[in-house]
Amino acid sequence: MSIVTVQLGQCGNQIGFEVFDALFSDSHCPQGLCSKRENEAYQASCKERFFSEEENGVPIARAVLVDMEPKVINQTLSKAAHSGRWKYDQHSCFCQKQGSGNNWAYGYSVHGPRHKESIMDLIQKEVEKCDSLSGFFIIMSMAGGTGSGLGAFVTQNLQDQYSNSLKMNQIIWPYGTGEVIVQNYNSILTLSHLYRSSDALLVHENDAIHKICAKLMNIKQISFRDINQVLAHQLGSVFQPTYSGEGSWHYRRNPLGIDWQVRPPLSGLPTLSKMSTNKEFHFNTSIANLVILRGKDVHSADVGAFKDPALYTSWLEPVHAFSVWKTQRAFSKYEKSAALVSNSQFLVKPLDVTVGKAWNMFASKAYIHQYTKFGIEEEDFLDSFTLLEQVIASYCNL
Amino acid sequence: MTQSVVVQVGQCGNQIGCCFWDLALREHAAVNQKAVYDEAISSFFRNVDTRVADGGGDISRGKICSLKARAVLIDMEEGVVNEILQGPLRDVFDSKQLITDISGSGNNWAVGHKVFGSLYQEEILEKLRKSAEHCDCLQCFFIIHSMGGGTGSGLGTFLLKVLEDEFPEVYRFVTSVYPSGEDDVITSPYNSILAMKELNEHADCVLPIDNQSLFDIISKLNLMVNSGKLGTAIKPKSLVTSSAGAFKKRQEKPFDAMNNIVANLLLNLTSSARFEGSLNMDLNEISMNLVPFPQLHYLVSSLTPLYTLADVNIPPRRLDQMFSDAFSKDHQLIQADPKHSLYLACALMVRGNVQISDLRRNIERLKPSLQFVSWNQEGWKTSLCSVPPVGHSHSLLALANNTCVKPTFIELKARFMRLYKKKAHLHHYLQIEGMEESCFTEAMASLSTLIEEYNQLDATKCMPTEDVPRLSVAI
């Protein structure tokens, strides 16, 4: 089963390139620390998910590149082509001349409707190249105008047109201290819209990855390339093939295969007064955890600690909330590696901070005229705030 | 990629414009060694086959044939424009893109705005439309003028209304040279205040500059160069004031050094839109991020470094010094001290070999000494462009929407009042058709309102920041 990637805006395209590069490098890595047959099965599975084949054998990424100005896409295309190992399909690009100006309203209300047909057509073409479609992976930032606004619009349209396929959005949380001044507005508008149309939001914070580069990797002069490569490495270790079941030796067909949405049971929600006072606050409370193990000794690895009920909210059994995926094939030459995807309260603090800052700015009405110019009214802002406050409250109540 | 058109009005505007085009050619020649007409060059230049009569159509790809500036030159006396057309840059300008007259505006805003405005309105529109037609995707008009005279001030601001009506979707960025304290034009306060009203109402973004600040920067540089304190030579091309290595050799004229600073400002402003980088910033993002309320669109600018030593080794400390300098009052292009006033927003546009970690480290370092308005505590907009300016390995342009611009306006108002109270020279204006005393009082009121807005913001400086109570929701 295949994943179609949609890369939006400067951030989305720069990251998208690193992701495909990481996936390709890993799958063609000769030291898989496993048998040749195993390696070949791994490669084939990876190939099917992310690349399609061309006549001369150069794999083409299953991706649609979208940006409202040409510089980044041109760079991305040529970087891939230069590597000689894989490339993008030149026809799978959509580009305009003038960017979105960091304006969510412009991306969503002007570029969206104007270019809807062209963009959805390109996506349709990519989908048709797949034997069977698992879903969409949409890479976008929240701070700018194209990734955020147009990204929200495209996701909404994917929901309408491909309601049975999974839509997973990789969203980039901007640095706390300014990349873009209106980033908080753009973020809350993006999040509130994605909440209504996306199935899963994979979040990466620039601040967090920056710290990884600085403290764990000791990089002195950190560039965006470094940051994107760390991100791509993390995503690769999540999305590369794994066995389909306990004890199975076949790679699972559906790469996005667990139920990413967790809903609380309709009855039996604890009342507010019973806030978890008796719980130890060592960990964020989770509603779902996925551990992915790759490499040596995966079958004997002990993941018992992840099944501790203290990690999870009181209305969930660990067995329903915890999953583990494995493969013996090592990732990116690491003898053993593990990845954790978690749906927990970790996001509450950054979300709360962003909503708080956006709210303060909104109270002064600063920059609002830039949004109302393109059809996003104060009411739309208020709707977004309301929705996000509810999300924060829901997570706090776990 | 988008294109921009430069409209240079009056003596000051045209002289600065001339320096700008010269340095722009120098920059593109340095970056584009193969002389291929690419999208970066097309933002400011057309590629024309001069062998074909009437210029033929524009050549959109391939080798550079002949570059023509996307410019409209306007002056109500012929001297300056004629000099340009006889000088080394004559081939860069399309002779059809000029509007001149003979008599000049006599340092009278009313003559520039009302008389020449109505006389040349049609012709102006026609030239602007022509220049827009040559553009694939026109994004911005850059207007360069001075505020103190008659043509730049009067006709230059008349233009703004025309542009707003005719091209409402295209940004209007105005570079305005404000008169210094010892300006020799007596009526410059009148001209400036009348022009300010137009800037308030019809410009998207204004970059005020004043001659005194430019002069101070040059004096400092001369002192440094001549004192020999720095030992080895400064790289000649790196001086922000120099024309060394410019595409066409020009005789250095007295204002050239000052005008080169402004020219560099415009080049750096547009660099991230023209060239690639890891964090691009287009021109429409400037307005989006730096203008929180429509009327507060005056941006104080500073350029660093002002020179580079011939010694190539640049330790990180030098890089951090570049950031510190951008906030010092000595590097601002108007008389202003942003560190001791209130920031509404700040943009840092970096060029060259600088990465995101350098940017972040310096923002963290400088933030505690700067005051930002309560609703925009992290009001930073940043951009990283990989291509450095000629002669430097990296550079920084800081644009601040800061209340430090207020003193300039207050002083202007004071000088205006000194003249107006005595009705001095007023008759020169009132005798022009369409001018009445109400023009003056309205212009005055417009400026006073603006100053009051800055006052109110300044008043919030000392207040403790309180978070606005959040929405409470039921789950």
Strands B380-385, B342-352: pairing is parallel
pLDDT per position as a tens digit, B413-462: 999 999 999 999 999 999 999 999 999 999 999 999 999 999 999 988 87
pLDDT per position as a tens digit, B1-13: 889 999 999 999 9
Cis peptide before B179 (omega within 30 of 0): no
Q: Where are the beta strands (DSSP E) in A240-362?
A: 286-295, 322-327, 336-344
- Put simply, whether B421 touches A (Cβ < 8 Å) is no
Strand partners, A64: A6
Nearest to B205 by CA among B240, B236, B252, B160: B160
Q: Taking the CB of residue B27, how many other CB atoms lie within 10 A of it?
A: 25
Which is more confident, B314 or B334? B334
Residues 28-57 of A with CB under 8 A from B: none
The ipTM, to two decimals, is: 0.87
Residues 93-112 of A with CB under 8 A from B: 97-103
Q: A103 and B284: CB-CB below 8 Å?
A: yes
Nearest CA in chain A to B474: A390
pLDDT per position as a tens digit, A64-88: 999 998 889 999 999 998 988 899 9
pLDDT per position as a tens digit, A302-359: 878 778 887 888 777 777 778 888 887 878 777 788 888 888 888 888 899 999 999 9
Nearest neighbour of A177 by CB, restricted to B378, B468, B471: B378
Whole-model pTM: value is 0.89
Q: A181 and B358: CB-CB below 8 Å?
A: no
Q: Give the CA-trace dihedral at A217, A219, A222, A227, to 10 degrees.
A: -20
Nearest CA in chain A to B375: A361
Q: What CA–CA distance (Å, rounded) separates B411 from B419?
A: 13
pLDDT per position as a tens digit, A290-316: 888 888 777 787 878 778 887 888 777
Nearest to B391 by CA among B186, B239, B177: B239
The amino acid that residue B145 corresponds to is H
pLDDT at A272: 31
Chain B residues with CB under 8 Å of A209 CB are none
Q: Is-contact B413 B179, C-beta < 8 A?
A: no
Q: Is the pLDDT of residue B69 over 70?
A: yes
Q: B356 and A222: CB-CB below 8 Å?
A: yes
Residues 249-278 of A with CB under 8 A from B: 272
- Put simply, whether A212 touches B (Cβ < 8 Å) is no
- Put simply, whether B285 touches A (Cβ < 8 Å) is yes
- Put simply, whether B471 touches A (Cβ < 8 Å) is yes
B33-57: buried (b, 16+ CB within 10 Å) or exposed (e) per residue? Answer: eeeebbbbbbbbbbbbeeeeeebee
Mean pLDDT for all residues in chain B: 87
Walk across the sheet containing B205-210 and list its strands.
B98-100, B71-75, B3-9, B138-146, B171-178, B205-210
Q: Which of A263-267, B14-18, B378-382, B422-426 shows the lowest mean pLDDT across its residues?
A: A263-267
Strands A336-344, A286-295: pairing is antiparallel
Q: B379 and A182: CB-CB below 8 Å?
A: no
Cα A293 to chain centroid, rounded: 19
Q: Report angle CA A343, A349, A355 to the nearest 5 degrees.
A: 110
